[in-house]
Every structure is written in structure tokens, then in C-alpha cells.
Amino acid sequence: MSEYSLIINGEKVAGAGSFDVINPATEEVLAKAPDTSVEQLDQAVAAAKAAFPAWAATDNETRKQACLQLADLLEANIDDLAQLITQEQGRPLQAFGGQGAYFEVGGAAVWCRSNAELELPVEVLQDDDEIRAEVHRKPLGVVGSITPWNWPLLIAIWHVIPALRAGNTVVIKPSSYTPLSTIKFVELAQSVLPAGVLNVVTGEGEVGTAMSTHADINKIVFTGSSATGRKIMQGASVNLKRLTLELGGNDAGIILPDVDVKAMAPRIFASAFTNSGQTCAALKRLYVHESIHDELAAELVAIAQSAKVGNGLEEGMDYGPVNNRDQLNKVVELAEDAKAQGANFLVGGDVQEGAGYFYPLTIVTDVKDGMRLVDEEPFGPILPIIKYSSVEDVLKLANDNENGLGGSVWSSDIAKATDLAMELEAGTAWINNHAAIQPNVPFGGVKQSGFGVEFSTYGLEEYTSIQSVIINKA
């Protein structure tokens, strides 16, 4: 069994204790991960704080090249990293539509390169005979990153790389369910970055709580549940930390009656079941016009029945298990509630026997808003299909949810779909697609899905403060 270390100030450090990392496909202990004490967190933050002045002072080209070198490291170690992701998270190496563990590592490299090319030039607001007014973007200091278990390496990259590109130093805490690929990445990164610039601590929720209240952490970037995001926001008030919070999503997709069902069904399916539904921006509430409801449901069922669910290390698997027992229990709880209220399970709906946190790909009809399966985010491989007749009514239903991460409209009439999508209360609106994020387009939520954005120059700016410089020439 492998044992892993903290990385503090460029050195491997044993934890104050250890905890088991479980392979969700087998329920066997995969590795021992280090448990971080508060004193060790303080050491990691102190190392990042000490490294900040020199890293912030490095020239733009040096930080750009560092991001490119990190991309090279990811690609050079893609096999080891993909294997780790599959074993700790459950996603197959390739998966349905090619969106498996290899896709995650490759995507992480793409994001490194995209961030490397971003620039934050000095903006000149006024330059005349009397005044020159400039706006400068300056790094914040120590950034605390807290990442979830669903896309452990990719989301770590989303947090870390723009922070480094802007001149900050980082202490990252991955989920205790999936810490291994992040530890491996931080270990590799030490060959590129000066000591203390990037540190990793691991452990349970207490470490994250200590990070949110730490006086020497200047910003927290967090991806996870809305409930935890609110706690982080409370903790961050002690020193008015900057925050970027990408929180829960219960995204709605509206299928208009003119959609080409056979052409769009595979894309709809992939949008809903990516990573077995364990994606914040996955399509989780599917509203289908009554005229094509049955036809589309049948197409989605046929795809579900043809997909293979199993251990992601085995060849040909499309989907893996739910990542952990607690999340599996949540999926089961919502499914059983729907059954009790008369929902129709077209496929799936029962926990598989044997080892692993497996739940079958499940499609449910005869459901409506007000049922838990529709109103709450299951974060698992189960999709409720809600029949509607009026576009005006379905728009109200789609927006009548506390979350507002993403939403989509599907139609053969692009202009009509775009107009309707603009009325969705969501940070991102897709037309004839869903959950398709890209590094050059900002991504973030509204309502209880958080605030702040990631990706593109807009996301990079969130790791900086503005300093106005006013030069009096007279």
C-alpha cells in the first residue's frame, strides 16, 4: 500500500496522522494519506507567505513559462495520473464520449497552457497634459484552494494555475476522498516552482475550516456544496478574505418541440451523465415538451442500456461508481422518495449487489417540481425527465430553484433558443449543449451557486487587486 506525504516549502513532510483513501469501485483501501495538524497548516501558510514577495516580483515571462512547464509535466506523467484518478475517484480511464481520467489530465494541461497565455496589462484611463491615470493588477498574497472529489486534478489546476500566473503563492487542500492525484501533481511541480510557492495539505473538514479563518491566507477559492461555501464565507470574514465560490448546481435543460430527437439524444445523455452525473454543471433536470417526451425518453433509455458500468480500470467501461458511500446514499434516498410518489423508473433505480459504490444509469419519468429528485441536486447517475406543455410555464419552473450555475435550451431554431436561454437565471446558458466549459470563457454561478468566476481573463483578475496610479504632470 502506498503512503503519501504533505508538501510544505518544497519538502515532503509526514502528516500528524493518516487516513485511508478508498477505491470506490472495490471499497478497498487504496492508500494512506497524511492527516494535517493545525500546526502543519500554519507551517504551509508561513512557507507560502515567505515565498510570496519573490514570486510576485518575478517577471511576467517567468511565470508564463512556469505554467507551460507544468503542462509538460502533466502530459509526461499522464499514465500515472490517470491511473490515480480512476482508482481514487472511480471515473474510467477513457469513459463515455472519451471523458475519462485521461481526458481529465489532458484537460488540465490545456488549462495550464491557456492560463499561460493570459495577460493583465496596465490599463491607461487618462493620459493628457495634466494627468496620467493607470490601473495596475497586483497579486493578493497567499491563496487557499479547497477542491472537491468529482474532478480532483482538473479543478486543482483551475484553482492553482491562475493563482500562480497572477503572482500569488498557494496552499491547496484536496478532498479527503481524492487527495492522491493532487499530491502527485504538487510533488511534480516542485521541479518547476521555487520552494513554498505551491504547498499541499490534506485531511478532513477541520483543515478547510482552519484555512477559511487563517489570518495569513488572503483569498479562498472553493468548489463544492453551497452549505460548505456559506461556512467558508463566514470564516473568511475574520480578515475579509477575497472569495471565489463555485457551489452546487441543479441545472435545467429545456427541450423545445422542434428538436431533432435522434440527433440530440446522445449529446443530451452525455451532458447529464458525464462522470456518472457527478459534475456541478451537468444537466440534472430535463424538461421535455409533451409532443416529443416519450420519443426522447426512449432514446435516452436505449443509450443507458447500451452503456457499460463497472471498475474504470477494466477496458471498455463507460461509467464508474459513485465516489463515496455518503453520496451513494443521497442518490438512493432521492430515488426511493421518487418511487414512493409514483415516479416511473424506465431504466435503473436499484443499487447493484457486490463491492463498490455502484448505482445504475437511471432515467425517471412521471416526476414534477416539488419532488425531491427534481428540486435537489442528486449528484449521481439519475436523470428526472419532466413533461411540459407551455414554454412560459417551463421557464418559470427552470428558474424556480435556489441554484443558478448553468442551464440550456435545445432547438432547431437557434435564434429562438438563444432568446429563451437569455431568460434563464444561470451563470452560463448553452444552446444545444450543456456542461461544455472552456478555458477562454468565464464560468461561475448566480443565486446559491456562488459568486465570482473562473477561466479566461475574467477569472485571472479574481486573483488580483486593483491599484490605481494617478500621476500629476502639472
pLDDT tens per residue across span 231-283: 999 999 999 999 999 999 999 999 999 999 999 999 999 999 999 999 999 99
Provide the pLDDT for residue 316. Answer: 95
CB 201 within 8 A of CB 6: yes
- Residue 455: half-sphere exposure toward Cβ, Cα within 13 Å: 17
Provide the pLDDT for residue 205. Answer: 76
Band (pLDDT 50/70/90 cuts) for residue 35 is very high
**CB-based burial, 177-193: b 16+ in 10 Å, e otherwise:** bbbbbbbbbbbbbbebb
Band (pLDDT 50/70/90 cuts) for residue 400 is very high
Band (pLDDT 50/70/90 cuts) for residue 2 is confident
Q: Name the nearest CA neighbour of 171 among 37, 32, 41.
A: 41
Calculate mean pLDDT across residues 161-185. 98
Q: Which residues are catalytic?
A: 246, 280
pLDDT tens per residue across span 423-452: 999 999 999 999 999 999 999 999 999 999
C-alpha to C-alpha distance for 136 and 367, rounded to whole angstroms: 52
Q: How would you class 248 by CB atoms within 10 Å of its CB: exposed for 0-12, middle for 13-18, buried for 19 or more? A: buried
Q: Which helix (H) or strand (E) holds 64?
A: helix 60-76
To the nearest whole number, what is the mean pLDDT of the chain? 97
C-alpha to C-alpha distance for 246 and 404, rounded to whole angstroms: 10
Residue 414 burial (CB count, 10 A): 11
Provide the pLDDT for residue 474. Answer: 85
C-alpha to C-alpha distance for 226 and 249, rounded to whole angstroms: 9
Residue-wise DSSP of 406-457: EEEEE-S-HHHHHHHHTTS-SSEEEES--S---TTS-B--EETTEES-BSHH
Name the amino acid, one letter, at 327: Q
C-alpha to C-alpha distance for 108 and 158, rounded to whole angstroms: 8
CB 189 within 8 A of CB 70: yes
**CB-based burial, 114-144: b 16+ in 10 Å, e otherwise:** bbbebebeeeeeeeeeeeeeeeebebbbbbb
